[in-house]
Amino acid sequence: MNAVLQRAWRDTLDVVFPRTCVHCQGVVEAHGLRHLCPACAPQLHVVAPPHCTTCGHPYYGESEVNRLCEHCEALVPEFREGKTAILSRGPGRALIHALKYHHGLHVLEDVVALMRRAPGYADFVRSKILVPVPLHPRKQRERGYNQSRLLAECAVQAVDGEARIADLLVRAVDTVSQTHFDRATRQRNLKNAFALAPGAVITPGHHYLLIDDVFTTGSTLNACAAVLRKAGALNLDVITFGHG
C-alpha cells in the first residue's frame, strides 16, 4: 500500500474509530499530532536552545546567564554532549508513559514528528551510530520490546535513514527500577550493570550516540557510556526523547 492510500485508510479509520488523547482521553481531531488533542498539544514543551549541552535541559532565567544546570551539575559525564526533544511533563510525560508502560506503540509516529520538530535534534542524530540503552532479558520479555531500541528506530526515521543502529550493549544485572532513587543510589545500583555485547566491535573513529527514553539523573546513560568509553569509543554523545 503506497503512502497516499495509507493516509486515506488511516483518515477513514479515524472517522469510524476516533482517536483519544493519551493525556486527557479527549477526542483527537485532525491536527499536527495524532495522539494529543488540540488542547493538550500546545502544552507540550519541545526543547529549543539555549539548553544544557550535557543533558539537554533548557536554560531559564539566571541559569541562562550562568550556564549552570541543576539537573546534571553533580554528574561527571563519560560522554561529551547530550540532547533531548521534549520535557517529560504533562502531555510529554503521557506520551512517554504510554510507550514505556502501556504498550502504546501507536505513539511512535508522534515521537518521530517531535524528533523532527525539536530544533537541532535531527542534526545531532544524523550520521551517527545509535546505541540503545539495553533492557535486561527478563524485563524485555515482560514488556515485549525495548523502548530505547524503538526510539532509536524513530530517530533513524526522523533523519530519513541517515543514521544506523548498533546493539553494542547488554544489561548484565537485573536491577530494580531506578525511578524513585536519588543519583547516588542509582549510581550504586548500576555499577557493573552493563557490559559490551558479545562480539561487539568499537571503532574509535566512529561517532556513537547512546539513546534512552528519558534523562533523569544521567546515571543510566553514564554507566553505559563508561562501558563504551572503556571499549574504545572516543566520539560519544547521548540523546533522549524526554527529560525530567
- Is the domain of 30 the same as that of 113? no
pLDDT digits (tens, 9 = 90+) for 119-162: 999 999 999 999 999 999 999 999 999 999 999 999 999 999 99
Instruction: Check pLDDT > 90 for residue 81.
Output: yes
Q: Could you tell me how far CA 195 lies from the centroid of its own chain? A: 20
- Is the domain of 53 the same as that of 32? no
> CB of 99 within 8 A of CB of 147?
yes
Identify the H or E element spanning 131: strand 129-132
pTM of the model: 0.88
Instruction: Check pLDDT > 90 for residue 236.
Output: yes
Shortest CA distance to 57 belongs to which of 73, 41, 77?
73
The whole-chain average pLDDT of the chain stands at: 88
pLDDT tier for residue 16 given thresholds of 50, 70 and 90? very low
User: What percent of the chain stands above pLDDT 70?
Assistant: 84
Instruction: Check pLDDT > 50 for residue 49.
Output: yes
- Is the domain of 124 the same as that of 21? no
Residue-number span of the structural domain to which 53 is assigned: 44-243
SS (H, E, C) 136-158: CHHHHHHHCCCHHHHHHHHHHHH
- Is the domain of 115 the same as that of 85? yes
Query: How much is the average pLDDT of 42-67?
Result: 84
Q: What is the CATH number of the domain that holds 154?
A: 3.40.50
User: What percent of the chain stands above pLDDT 90?
Assistant: 75
Contacts of 213 (CB under 8 A, 6+ apart): 96, 99, 100, 147, 148, 151, 240, 241, 242
Residue 174 has a pLDDT of 79
